[in-house]
Amino acid sequence: MFSPLNGQDVATSGVVTGTTRKGFFIQDPDGDVNAAESQGVFVLERGKKPTVGSLVAVLGSVVDYQPDEDSRPTTQILAKAVQELEFYGPEIKPVWLTAANVLGNAKDLAVFLNSLEGMLVGVAAGATFTAPSNPFGDYVVAPAEADLVRTGQGGVLIDPERPERWLPGFRLLNYDEAPTVNVGAELLEAVIGPLNFRVASFQIAAASPVRVKPARVKAQTTNLKSDQSGVTILTLNGFNLDAHREDPSRVKDPRRDVDDDVGDQRFNGLGGAIAHDAAGPAIVALQEIQDDDGAERTEVVGAERTYAFLIAAVQRAGGPNYEWLDIPPEVEADGGQPGGNIRNAYLYDPQRVQHVAGTLQRLGADSPAFEGSRKPLAARFRMVDGGGELEVINVHLASKRHQNGLFAPEAPGFDSRAALRVEQARVVGEHLAQLREQEIDYYVTGDFNDFEFSATLRELTGDHSTNLVYTVPEALRYDYNHRGVSQALMHGVVANRQLEGRRADYEILHANALLGSRPGRTGEKASDHAYVIARLEVR
């Protein structure tokens, strides 16, 4: 459309192709849609927006918007004056996003999408929703002809050769017209809108209602049970769980850090998952448990009230009367949401297992690999019937949140924490080596923030341990959905000798990774991960 310099005043015209809360897009009706340079641009205008389809003249200054120093800048026009020239402007035909042009290598994809930024694009009917709807009206789809490895529900499974993949997505601002969709739903009509760059990725700014063929998600419950020879262990990410509604004046970011997990029924949701979906396992390995005043930035680190609310919710759902174990972190020492003092913890049923006194410890407390990061929590349990012992190590390794996006200006896809997770796995592995020498059974579980084929899991398993995720059929091997790509971030590692003549069962209860949330409604899902459960024979 044009190539102005940052800060330069411009006068231009174009057809309005879509709007957002912050402005609108225009496109040159005479521009070459196949040109290397985009024929569209975003106009920053928070006032009244012109009608979509109208031809307008815009006077303004050019801004290279960059939300932070590591982000890719986007060219925008800061409007000073907008004039409608024609109510019905020339027709703009969309560029269609197809499997042929979006599933190639990342470098070519970035060039292609850069050339379309701000222009009218579309995804044809027949595309499959590969991510559940979220509270913000975001959707991700795979074109109908996409030749990708699919999950049993119709999602897209992560590819070890290309773990970072972009799939077309769109956002609907009008939540009344935004459907709740589960993974596997089908797009019945094309979605068309300007291609916007936001939150480190490209996304269609869709304007019209969306027609969808729904997909059902079957309720999943485990068949695994504890008995005299085996113990069941559920792994559950509490998603920053706490029983306190924060005072906005006492948190770092009132817009992000205030929630009401009790009012949003998240405790009831988790309690039902533990009691019903997982059939009241003997042990529950919890991640993302916050202190008793949530994200408020105080000296409070204890989480007794959080556990009390969760245990009561389990009992209301017909589950066991659990006891809990944790070692609180020091104030603001373990990362996570500011003020939350996040930690790993356990619930256990004293009718089936006993905690072996003196075995509760946080691994890596003195290791540089775990500085500012959640510490693995190890605890040994003895079966009430049979007397066998099992040490459980509950991990929550360094986050992938700081990973460069696929379209980052430098080192796209680079994960600065990848090497750190390997070092963290090495620390855990040293503890496992001691347990093997003592012939103590173990089970390493939790949120590894890495994939089964990653260097992190290879470091942890080596030639002495097995990741039970590999016992799950490939099409079901996922517990998390990231921008439409289903992947396993939770794992279950046991020593190889524990599988000799013994049985180990591992299941993923997928519902949370498949079920959509209603746009405009937060707190509907009890967790952002699926739940995983194992049954191990213990001697």
Long-range contacts of 256-261 (CB under 8 A, 24+ apart): 257/294, 257/295, 257/337, 257/338, 257/339, 258/295, 259/294, 259/295, 259/522, 259/523, 260/523, 261/523
| Euclidean distance between CA atoms 437 and 440, whole angstroms | 8
Q: How confident is the model at residue 4 (pLDDT cuts 50, 70, 90)?
A: low
Cα dihedral sign, 422-426-427-428 = positive
Rounded to whole angstroms, how far apart are CA atoms 270 and 215? 23
pTM: 0.95
Alpha-carbon distance 129 to 139, whole Å? 7
Tell me how long the chain is: 539
Q: What is the pLDDT of residue 523?
A: 80
Residues of the chain with CATH 2.40.50.140: 9-86
pLDDT of 91 above 80: yes
> Where does CATH 3.60.10.10 sit in the chain?
230-537
Question: Which H helix or E strand runs over 456?
Answer: helix 455-461
3-state secondary structure labels for all residues of 217-264? CCCCCCCCCCCCCEEEEEEEEEEEECCCCCCHHHCCCHHHHCCCCCCC
Distances (CA, A) of 57 to 26, 28, 63, 93: 9, 11, 18, 20
| Stretch (H or E) spanning 16 | strand 9-19
Reported confidence tier of residue 470, pLDDT bands at 50, 70, 90? very high
- Give me 95's structure tokens: 């560029």
Q: How far is CA 169 from CA 108, 218, 305, in A?
A: 18, 25, 40
For residues 494-503, give the mean pLDDT: 96
Q: What is the CATH number of domain 95-213?
A: 2.40.50
Interacting residues of 277 by C-beta distance below 8 A, sequence separation 6+: 219, 220, 221, 222, 509, 511, 531
pLDDT tens digits, residue range 449-464? 999 999 999 999 999 9
**CA distance linking residue 344 with residue 72, whole number of Å:** 35
Segment 253-265 mean pLDDT: 95
Segment 194-198 mean pLDDT: 95
Averaged pLDDT, 380-399:
95
pLDDT greater than 80 at residue 7? no
For residue 387, what pLDDT band results from cuts at 50, 70 and 90? Answer: confident
Lookup: tokens for 327: 């070692």
For 9-86, CATH number out of 2.40.50.140, 3.90.1150.10, 3.40.109.10, 3.20.20.70 equals 2.40.50.140
Rounded-to-integer distance, Cα 170 and Cα 486, Å: 18
Confidence of residue 1 (pLDDT cuts 50, 70, 90): low
Amino acid, single-letter form, for residue 172:
L
Round to whole Å and give the CA distance between 52 and 20. 11
Q: Which amino acid is at 461?
A: T
Q: How far is CA 472 from the centre of its chain?
A: 21
Provide mean pLDDT across the span 260-278.
97
Distance CA 19, CA 97 (A): 20
Give the model confidence (pLDDT) of 40-65 as tens digits. 999 999 889 999 999 999 999 999 88
Domain 230-537 in CATH 3.60.10.10: yes
| Residue-wise pLDDT tens digits, 207-255 | 878 999 999 998 899 999 999 889 999 999 999 999 999 999 999 999 9
